[in-house]
Amino acid sequence: MSTWNTIEKARLDIPQGIHAIAKPMGSTCNLKCDYCFYLEKENLYLAKENLRMPDGVMKAYIKSYVQSQPTPEVEFVWQGGEPTLRGIDFYRRVVMYQKPYLATKTIRNAIQTNGTLLTDEWCEFFRQNGFLVGLSLDGPEDIHNRYRRNRAGHPSFSEVIRGMRLLKKWGVEFNVLACVARETAYRPLDVYHFFKEQGVTFIQFTPVVERMPDQKAAGYGLRFAIPPALDIRETNTQITSWTVEPEKYGEFLTAIFDEWVRQDVGKVFVMNFEWALNAAVGNGSPICIFSRQCGRAVAVEHNGDVYACDHHVYPEYLLGNLRNDDLARMVQSSVNSGFGPHKEDTLPRCCRECDVLQACWGGCPKHRFIQSPHAEPGLNYLCAGYKKFFRHSAKYMIAFRKLIELDLEPSYIMRAIGRPLVIPPSEKTGHQQVVLWIKQNYGAGTDRIEE
């Protein structure tokens, strides 16, 4: 979806909905990426348990999700682990079971895959049924293969590229999800140029942040720490070797943004920038990590278990099971119990007084494990990086906002950087000439309005 369509959709008066991510194969995956936080979730279930979602759970999920959704559009997101391991026939049945609900709702499907198992048959199915595919690809071969290997330890890059070519061959709509690990953050333009060379036009960058296991995680048989409590000082701040450095992550986004805003607006869509733009125009973030509160985005496991969040799949965050409980009531109980509001209520003083609060809102609670300058708990590990990016992009967001007010294409901004853009008089400009000029290092906005 383009920047402008994202903004226009957010302007509509649509009730707040529920977002669910389903795990039809649980945490089962054919890859064994070093930084993956979900592979270890298999330890929360019985060793011999079949992690394949039964049709009974799938049908209960479809019915409950559609009926619980107050919005006119329902998006089913199938994730993992690796969801294609469930087999194409499972998704054919998904589409069949969704059909009776098309009379009252617009239903869309999206699937997040590592791409290594894609075939012509899969891609034809995706195209025929309008599936949006999210492809996990971290960048050039050496960057991608550093952490994304299969269970035999072999690199996965060539298989992912093969899968991407099949998606293109069949005209399947897809975007790329790129994880930014420690080493990746030092090569922002290598990553961005690679995606452009590959013809990728929709990209989302996700920072890799994980801590070493604490006592509770070790008790569950997990190798990463469980999420922090936010209002209690976290003693375990030891991060993994591949965790991205905060300021480097901010520099990574900033370097890509600087090229994008000068050359690629309207041609390449980077979701991180679109989220920032939504916040800048007052719509709030469309993604939970930068929302004021969370709690309405849940994870549905293979057996129907529903958890408060994809990053909180732990016994203490289990809300219920689709076989016995109503999805809407489970989500509401999560919000009522304080899971969502807790994100805002526990913000440290430096966050509440921060100039980029409206863009960040403390970030993902899972990453809020360091202390603030006032020795308060609950500061986001990535705080320095977020500040760097949001402050750097602020002047451009002011210009984007002005273009929105004037109903002009976002690409106009590329003509206003370092030189004046003269916008002729119109009804939108109050019948005055407007000059938009983003002066380097001086801020942005309407430099002057001339008669």
Which residues carry out catalysis? 310
User: Would you say 275 and 287 are in contact if contact means Cβ atoms under 8 Å apart?
Assistant: yes
- At residue 344, what is the residue type? E
Sign for the CA dihedral angle at 89, 91, 93, 96 comes to negative
Characterize 257-284 residue by residue with b for buried, 16 or more Cβ atoms within 10 angstroms of its Cβ, and e for exposed: bbebbeebbeebbbbbbbbbbbbbeeeb
Secondary-structure breakdown of the chain: helix, strand, coil percentages, each rounded to the nearest 5? 40, 15, 40
Closest Cα partner for 2 from 297, 400, 445? 400
Q: Which residue has the tokens 């002011």?
A: 398
User: Would you say 305 and 330 are in contact if contact means Cβ atoms under 8 Å apart?
Assistant: no
Closest Cα partner for 393 from 253, 198, 205, 284? 253
Sheet order of strands, 132-136 included: 269-270, 202-207, 174-180, 132-136, 106-113, 73-78, 19-22, 297-300, 305-307, 318-321
- At residue 173, what is the residue type? E
Q: Given the DSSP bridges, would you call strands 433-436 and 73-78 parallel, antiparallel or unpaired?
A: unpaired
Nearest 5°: the CA angle 342, 345, 348 is 115
Question: How many Cβ atoms sit within 10 Å of the Cβ of residue 216?
Answer: 13
How far from 422 is each of 4, 416, 418, 437, CA to CA, in Å?
A: 21, 9, 13, 9
DSSP at 446: E
Contacts of 337 (CB under 8 A, 6+ apart): none
What whole-number distance in Å separates Cα of residue 176 and Cα of residue 168? 13
Closest Cα partner for 157 from 133, 139, 177, 181? 139
What whole-number distance in Å separates Cα of residue 265 and Cα of residue 257? 10
User: Would you say 257 and 393 are in contact if contact means Cβ atoms under 8 Å apart?
Assistant: yes
Token pair for 197:
């060379």
